[in-house]
Amino acid sequence: MQTKHPIGILGATGMVGQRFIQLLENHPWFEVAWLAASDRSSGKTYGEAAKWRLDSPLPERVAHMTIAPAEPEGAPKIIFSSIDTPIARELEPRFAGAGCAVISNSSAFRMAPNVPLVLPEVNADHLHLIEEQSWRRESGGYIVTNSNCTVMGPVLALKPIEDRFGIEQIFATSMQAVSGAGYPGVASMDILDNVVPYISNEEEKMEEELLKLLGKLESKPAGHVVKPLGARMSASCNRVPVVDGHTVSVSIKLGRPATREEILAAWAEFRPLAGQGLPTAPDQPVEWAPQNDRPQPRLDRNRGKGMAVTVGRLRPCNVLDWKFVVLSHNTIRGAAGAAILNAELLASLGKLEPVAEAAARV
Ligand SMILES: NC(=O)c1ccc[n+]([C@@H]2O[C@H](COP(=O)([O-])OP(=O)(O)OC[C@H]3O[C@@H](n4cnc5c(N)ncnc54)[C@H](OP(=O)(O)O)[C@@H]3O)[C@@H](O)[C@H]2O)c1
């Protein structure tokens, strides 16, 4: 790619917005050209408005950029969105309607039948759903989403198992980091020395999103639809005093028997993006940790620059067939990194150029 695509970040000052800025610094295909947040931040420089919380310095150029109003006028045609769901429900269609490719982290449209919920290693073909969106026909714009940060790890780990053996039942229990709740998130008095066994709407999101992500794209006379995976799924979600990294214990019942070696081979050989040249794609999306006390958030969350998930503790389950633990970095693989990988996939498929062309015609 010769020139970089200018991109905008909606919700740039938040936890996920900051990750976008960090991960897009020196990105070979995309350049941050526009930042927007709430009216509280609009008109300030990014350095003034954002409470930078990451362990690398805020890039100087970005610190001096002025936060724009959250409106499509004057925004680039590729928008990474990381705003809360009620605001996303109102704003994202406005940007798509104005001809933008909106690559969203929010849950507002994830389950809409014509909106792709995509993890490139798992269901890249679901991107066909873009063509079912009226914005696409009218202005060239569209919405693509990535999943809830907790379900991302289990889905990557389960995809190669589903492909080879089928999955009939899933029990998943999460131990979720505080950064998953945005900044400042859960009050320190509530989470230190504690575990909170409730995260609003999280179990519902995990259950429905997992089945859509592992579902099959079908072509009907009226257009494309996703048929969800026909498995039974039960999730329990807990907040734990970890800064970054969601851990999930998973038990599964398979469609046909598999040995431990066959499951390990399914994970080791799972490299669906190999050779596609997507800059953010990890070489090995599902990494196996053989030690009996891994994965652990502090030790394993940055594998594959935060884009690989780590699986460990594979062992027989006395109720279902097998159980294991999976860990993923919630603000990288589970949010900003996932959206950037979706954008790279869209770019490689030529789905970003038509947005700009359609906009130029308006
Ligand atoms: N954190 C995670 O691990 C994670 C993972 C996956 C998905 N997500 C999703 O990503 C989204 C953002 O999460 P977060 O953790 O980054 O939240 P956050 O830290 O609370 O940040 C929210 C962002 O939205 C902006 N905002 C608030 N009201 C707005 C408005 N009316 N118009 C425009 N912008 C507005 C805020 O700007 P101000 O600074 O000006 O208030 C801030 O930039 C949520 O939908 C969340 O569910 C988060």
Q: Is the pLDDT of residue 361 over 60?
A: no
User: Which pLDDT value is given to residue 2?
Assistant: 63
Percent residues over pLDDT 70 in the chain? 97
Residue range 160-181, pLDDT digits in tens: 999 999 999 999 999 999 999 9
Arithmetic mean of pLDDT, 84-106: 97
Arithmetic mean of pLDDT, 22-28: 97
User: Which pLDDT value is given to residue 362?
Assistant: 40
Arithmetic mean of pLDDT, 288-313: 98
Helical segments of the chain, H only: 15-24, 46-49, 60-63, 85-97, 120-123, 134-138, 152-165, 188-191, 202-213, 260-268, 297-300, 337-348, 353-361
What is the pLDDT confidence band of residue 307, given thresholds at 50, 70 and 90? very high
What is the pLDDT confidence band of residue 359, given thresholds at 50, 70 and 90? very low
Task: State the closest ligand 1 atom to the C-alpha of 13, by its place in the atom list counted from 1.
Answer: 43
What is the pLDDT confidence band of residue 310, given thresholds at 50, 70 and 90? very high
Residues with C-beta less than 6 Å from any ligand 1 atom:
11-17, 37-38, 40-41, 70, 82-85, 87, 105-106, 149, 179-180, 182-183, 330-331, 334-335
Please tell me the distance between residue 82's alpha carbon and the centre of ligand 1 in angstroms. Answer: 5
Mean pLDDT, the chain, whole residue set: 96
Q: How far is CA 320 from the centre of its chain?
A: 28
Arithmetic mean of pLDDT, 60-81: 97
Active site residues per annotation: 149, 246
> Are 224 and 129 contacting, i.e. CB atoms less than 8 angstroms apart?
yes
Residue range 240-293, pLDDT digits in tens: 999 999 999 999 999 999 999 999 999 999 999 999 999 999 999 999 999 999
From 18, 39, 84, give the residue whose CB has the most ligand 1 atoms within 8 Å, as the site to mutate.
84
What is residue 355's three-state secondary structure? helix
User: Which pLDDT value is given to residue 1?
Assistant: 53
Arithmetic mean of pLDDT, 223-245: 97
What is residue 131's three-state secondary structure? helix
